[in-house]
């Protein structure tokens, strides 16, 4: 079945490619008016796709893409004019130049985000506009002509038509292939995790800051590529690359459907072709366009693609209602899933001697002079379940964040499996065998349970990010993704989630399934040390018993587990050792039976 689907997908891709080539040929052989409209629309398709790559996947709403577009267009024209560089050599030059500028802009996202990032990139576009308008070497407001794209030889041109149309088609195809390839890769769930659940991504080994900068640089390079193609089509003046162009690009993405394959393409075509199709007074054009935009935002937040999905859903439901009553029932959700049936017990592992984790002399404060943790020690024996308890505000979460690398202690050492890690960042801890969960399930709500779980394997599979831009073309990459999905399905099965849950979107599943999905994503990479931060929050009695069973099976396989929990009965019933802290200080640590009867614990924690 998998092989058949793969063959069908390749056939579909070849059909689309053939249609694209045929359409390009038709435009290249058509009149100049049609060519102008189509090629300019194609350039805006590249820009919309590049903007959606950062806005849709990592949540960086850029208003600087018009400035990056200008770098590509003006860079091509001016370098050709002043240095007489070949137009084909100029393509990689402007891509790299725009990409480097994009990397610097992307680095700003590490300091500012959301609205502030959008404003910062907006200012960048204004700066580019001012420089282009007031510099003699750019010819100021007068603008400049671009280079002439080399024509086909006479005989070839008679068959293929105008060469620049094929050049534009080539860069459009490159942009679409890159965007669609990333969405088909194992890197796509990781990008969404960076956007919606950054602590979750970092805990799974994702260097989120590097991902943001890299994606913005790639998007900027694509905008520079659009500028290269644009320089052959239209006389360049600063007004083409002003702040209005940046806003229009964002409008294109939103109208079409952000973070969808077809949305940016549809939005770019609609917005760029609209003035040519609706030939009315420019003022009323803007009014009509504004009304359409507001209507889409209010009634169809997912844009034209969302509207199409809504209509398709109505049609499917109508067909289902008209189906005969004795129609064959679909099989059980898990019957045809193809997911491997996991051995819930796994292979028992004899735990090694020694300590899995040793945090000693930990001091930390958020504000100088106001300590949160003072000389706290916590030593966890390998292959045990270790409880960490304390009153609210005692510093439990802070200690966990220090161990996992989200925070850095001012004083103290942390050893993980014998290695000093207190100066290492959170994304480096999984390589040392540490994984963790969070108090509330931090997951990507718009993708399925199975895809969320694959994020947990990010640190175990090499070059996921680098291969993503050509993922479908690499047999090894496709093979890795299948293996990741199979391991994720097995991990979900090991925590008791049937295959019928695997394709469900996280936003549609109950709280218990969310918690189990988070647990599966933390054990799918087979860590040696697992930290569970309040894993029982909001669970029923039966679900709590189920979690306890999972923990004991993990312990039997040699996994060291640290549980932070308010339910002391669960801690004392299921943990081998317990550490108690209060007001940022260590109260006691030792075997659960001894801690349970400790007078100091009863006084400060149990109120006795």
Domain boundary among 257, 272, 287: 272
Kindly state the percentage of the chain with pLDDT values over 90: 66
Domain boundary among 272, 298, 332: 272
Domain boundary among 222, 243, 272: 272
**Do 421 and 568 sit in the same domain of this protein?**
yes
- CA dist 565 and 571 (Å) reads 7
Q: Looking at the domain assignment, is residue 38 inside a domain? A: yes
With a threshold of 0.85, does the pTM exceed it? yes
Supply 55's token pair: 């806005």
Those residues whose C-beta lies under 8 Å from the C-beta of residue 389, and which sit 6 or more positions away, are 396, 564, 565, 566, 568, 571, 578, 579, 580, 581, 605
**Do 176 and 60 sit in the same domain of this protein?**
yes
> How many domains, in total, are found in the chain?
2
Kindly state the percentage of the chain with pLDDT values over 70: 92
Greatest Cα pair distance in the chain: 96
Q: Looking at the domain assignment, is residue 288 inside a domain? A: no
pLDDT over 90 (residue 274): no
pLDDT over 80 (residue 349): no
Q: DSSP readout, 384-443?
A: -EEEEE--TTSSHHHHHHHHHTSS--SEEEEEETTEE-TTS-GGGGGGGTEEE--SS---
Which among 400, 435, 66 is positioned nearest to 244, based on CA atoms?
66
Supply 244's token pair: 């209005």
What is the tens place of the pLDDT at every residue in 114-136? 888 999 999 999 999 999 999 99
Instruction: Give, as one character, the DSSP assignment of residue 185.
Output: S
Of 217-226, 317-326, 358-367, 420-429, the range with the lowest mean pLDDT is 317-326
pLDDT value, residue 356? 93
Segments in 437-540 forming alpha helices (H): 449-454, 464-467, 475-494, 511-523
CATH of the domain at 379: 3.40.50.300
pLDDT value, residue 313? 76
What is the tens place of the pLDDT at every residue in 455-466? 999 999 999 999
Beta partners for residue 577, in sequence order: 386, 591
pLDDT over 80 (residue 243): yes
**Do 473 and 578 sit in the same domain of this protein?**
yes
**Do 238 and 365 sit in the same domain of this protein?**
no
pLDDT value, residue 340? 36
What is the tens place of the pLDDT at every residue in 154-185? 888 889 999 999 999 999 999 999 999 999 99
Supply 107's token pair: 């680095």
Measured in residues, the chain has a length of 608
pLDDT value, residue 76? 96
Supply 437's token pair: 């969960």
Count of alpha carbons within 13 angstroms of residue 453, beta-carbon side: 33
CATH of the domain at 131: 1.10.3470
At 484 the three-state DSSP class reads helix
Angstrom CA distances, 180 to 209, 256, 271, stand at 23, 16, 22
Helix, strand, coil share (%) of the chain residues, nearest 5: 60, 10, 30
- CA dist 554 and 551 (Å) reads 5
pLDDT mean across residues, the chain: 88
pLDDT value, residue 342? 41
Structural domain containing residue 137: 10-272
């Amino acid at each position: 079945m998998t092989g058949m689907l793969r063959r069908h997908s390749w056939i579909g891709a070849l059909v689309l490619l053939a249609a694209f080539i045929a359409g390009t040929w038709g435009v290249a052989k058509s009149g100049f008016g049609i060519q102008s409209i189509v090629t300019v629309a194609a350039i805006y398709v590249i820009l919309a796709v590049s903007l959606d790559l950062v806005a849709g996947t990592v949540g960086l709403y850029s208003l600087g893409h018009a400035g990056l577009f200008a770098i590509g267009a003006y860079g091509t024209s001016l370098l050709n004019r002043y240095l007489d560089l070949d137009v084909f050599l100029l393509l990689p030059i402007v891509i790299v130049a725009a990409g480097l500028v994009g990397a610097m802009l992307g680095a700003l996202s590490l300091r500012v985000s959301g609205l502030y990032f959008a404003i910062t990139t907006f200012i960048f576009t204004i700066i580019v506009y001012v420089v282009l308008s007031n510099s003699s070497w750019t010819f100021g407001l007068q603008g400049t002509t671009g280079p002439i794209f080399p024509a086909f030889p006479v005989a070839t041109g008679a068959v293929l038509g105008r060469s620049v149309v094929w050049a534009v088609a080539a860069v459009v195809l490159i942009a679409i292939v890159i965007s669609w390839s990333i969405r088909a890769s194992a890197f796509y769930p990781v990008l969404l995790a960076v956007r919606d659940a950054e602590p979750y991504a970092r805990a799974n080994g994702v260097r989120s800051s590097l991902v943001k900068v890299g994606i913005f640089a790639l998007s900027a390079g694509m905008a520079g590529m659009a500028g290269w193609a644009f320089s052959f089509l239209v006389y360049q003046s600063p007004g083409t690359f002003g702040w209005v162009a940046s806003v229009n690009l964002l409008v294109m993405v939103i109208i079409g459907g952000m973070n969808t394959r077809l949305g940016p393409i549809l939005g770019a075509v609609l917005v760029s072709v609209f003035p040519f199709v609706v030939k009315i007074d420019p003022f009323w054009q803007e009014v009509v366009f504004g009304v359409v935009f507001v209507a889409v935002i209010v009634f169809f937040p997912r844009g034209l693609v969302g509207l199409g999905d809504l209509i398709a859903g109505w049609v499917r439901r109508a067909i289902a209602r008209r189906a005969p009553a004795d129609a064959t029932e679909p099989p059980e959700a898990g019957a045809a899933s193809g997911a491997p049936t996991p051995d819930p017990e796994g292979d028992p592992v004899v735990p090694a001697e020694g300590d899995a984790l040793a945090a000693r002399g930990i001091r930390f404060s958020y504000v100088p002079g106001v300590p949160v943790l003072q000389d706290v020690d916590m030593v966890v024996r390998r292959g045990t379940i270790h409880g960490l308890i304390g009153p609210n505000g005692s510093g439990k979460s802070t200690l966990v964040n220090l161990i996992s690398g989200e925070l850095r202690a001012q004083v103290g050492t942390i050893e993980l499996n014998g290695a000093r890690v207190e100066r290492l960042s959170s994304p480096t801890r999984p390589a040392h065998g540490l994984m963790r969960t969070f108090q509330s399930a931090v997951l990507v709500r718009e993708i399925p349970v199975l895809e969320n779980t694959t994020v947990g394997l990010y640190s175990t599979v090499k070059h996921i990010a680098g291969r993503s831009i050509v993922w479908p073309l690499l047999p090894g990459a496709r093979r890795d993704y299948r293996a990741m999905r199979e391991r994720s399905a097995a991990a979900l099965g090991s925590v008791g989630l049937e295959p019928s849950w695997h394709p469900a979107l996280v936003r549609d599943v109950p709280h218990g399934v969310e918690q189990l999905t988070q647990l599966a994503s933390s054990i799918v990479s087979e860590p040696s040390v697992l930290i569970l931060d309040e894993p029982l929050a909001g669970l029923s009695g039966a679900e709590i018993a189920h979690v306890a069973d999972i923990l004991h099976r993990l312990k039997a396989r040699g996994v060291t587990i640290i549980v932070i929990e308010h339910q002391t009965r669960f801690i004392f019933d299921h943990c081998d050792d317990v550490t108690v802290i209060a007001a940022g200080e260590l109260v006691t640590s030792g075997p659960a039976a001894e801690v349970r009867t400790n007078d100091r614990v009863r006084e400060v924690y149990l109120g006795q």
